């Protein structure tokens, strides 16, 4: 398709043409889902197929004004949907949200985030923010992330761990609560014994640091079984569930909730 333009994104923001989805994160052992990651698609028109994030997020991140506008819209709507979902289910959930590049670098980030939390009625301890080494953090960004972790109690997730060069450096500089193992590792564990040994090593390192680990990209029952046997507590992938519209996510969570814990 034609490249998405700045004007189309602004028009979509003004006319509510973005749609949020939630992909379940599975808790091994308990076989429940109380965490989900928020995704977003762009709908240019009702007649066209949804546009995936990899087609429009780079356009947003290359434009300071778009990053600011879309970042605020995305956080606000993710918070609103999450708060509503928890009210309807009468249960606590963890909402995992990907931060845009440069978003945390803004001096006003913590102040605006706090205002959005108060406005939408979400609770700090229901939130976790995902970031990767591809996101360029400056001194303000590091300070802001440390502050929301220490003072607001928002969890930090290091995503796509193991595929880049500076993951360990980020792990050293910020107080991450969760590491998300790149799906490239999950893909190879059923074929290469060394691949499994590498991720077991990562898991052991995380345990020493008191950091949870989530395996991404689970597509087969064999992968899931190997990961659970290796000691993983959480996983995510198409075998468990694709990104779902919020009403379908609600049904999914309720279906696998502990008996008596799902309100409606």
Q: What is the pLDDT of residues 119-155, one digit of tens each?
A: 999 999 999 999 987 778 999 999 999 999 999 999 9
Cβ contact 126:86 at 8 Å? yes
| Per-residue model confidence (pLDDT) at position 259 | 64
- CA-CA-CA-CA torsion sign (119, 120, 121, 125): negative
237 within domain boundaries: yes
CA within 13 Å, CB half, 137: 20
264 within domain boundaries: no
Cβ contact 124:152 at 8 Å? yes
**Packing angle between helix 53-61 and helix 64-89, nearest 10 degrees?**
130
d(C-alpha 236, C-alpha 246), whole Å: 17
Q: What angle do CA 215, 28, 172 make, to 5 degrees?
A: 40
Checking if the pLDDT of 264 tops 60, the result is no
- Higher pLDDT residue, 133 or 64? 64
pLDDT band at residue 37 under the 50/70/90 scheme? very high
Checking if the pLDDT of 1 tops 60, the result is no
| Per-residue model confidence (pLDDT) at position 239 | 96
Helices (H), the chain: 6-14, 53-61, 64-89, 109-120, 139-150, 167-173, 183-188, 193-208, 221-230, 246-255
SS3 138: coil
122 within domain boundaries: yes
- 16-30: average pLDDT: 94
pLDDT band at residue 3 under the 50/70/90 scheme? confident
262 within domain boundaries: no
Task: Report the CATH number that the domain containing residue 99 is assigned in CATH.
Answer: 3.20.20.450
103 within domain boundaries: yes
129 within domain boundaries: yes
Give the domain range for residue 134: 6-255
1 within domain boundaries: no
Q: Would you give the DSSP letter of residue 182?
A: -
- Distance of alpha carbon 126 from the chain centroid: 13
| Per-residue model confidence (pLDDT) at position 122 | 96
263 within domain boundaries: no
pLDDT band at residue 166 under the 50/70/90 scheme? low
Domain count, the chain: 1
């Amino acid at each position: 398709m034609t490249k998405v333009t700045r004007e189309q994104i602004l028009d979509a923001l003004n006319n509510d043409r973005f749609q949020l989805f939630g992909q379940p994160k599975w808790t091994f052992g308990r076989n429940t889902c109380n965490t989900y990651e928020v995704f977003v698609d762009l709908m240019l028109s009702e007649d066209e197929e949804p546009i995936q994030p990899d087609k429009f997020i780079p356009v947003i991140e290359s434009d300071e004004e778009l990053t600011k506008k879309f970042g605020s819209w995305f956080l606000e709507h993710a918070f609103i949907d999450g708060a509503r979902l928890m009210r309807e289910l009468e249960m606590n959930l963890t909402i995992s949200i990907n931060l845009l590049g440069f978003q945390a670098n803004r001096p006003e980030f913590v102040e605006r985030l706090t205002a959005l939390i108060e406005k939408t009625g979400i609770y700090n301890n229901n939130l976790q923010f995902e970031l990767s080494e591809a996101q360029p953090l400056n001194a303000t960004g590091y300070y802001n992330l440390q502050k929301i972790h220490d003072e607001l109690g928002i969890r930090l997730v290091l995503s796509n761990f193991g595929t880049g060069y500076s993951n360990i450096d980020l792990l050293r500089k910020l107080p991450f609560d969760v590491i998300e193992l790149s799906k490239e590792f999950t893909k190879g564990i059923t074929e290469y014994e060394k691949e499994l040994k590498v991720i077991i090593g990562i898991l052991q390192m995380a345990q020493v640091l008191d950091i949870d680990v989530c395996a991404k990209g689970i597509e087969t029952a064999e992968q899931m079984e190997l990961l659970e046997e290796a000691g993983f507590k959480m996983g995510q992938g198409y075998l468990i569930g694709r990104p779902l519209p919020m009403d379908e996510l609600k049904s999914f969570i309720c279906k696998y909730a502990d008996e008596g814990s799902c309100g409606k």
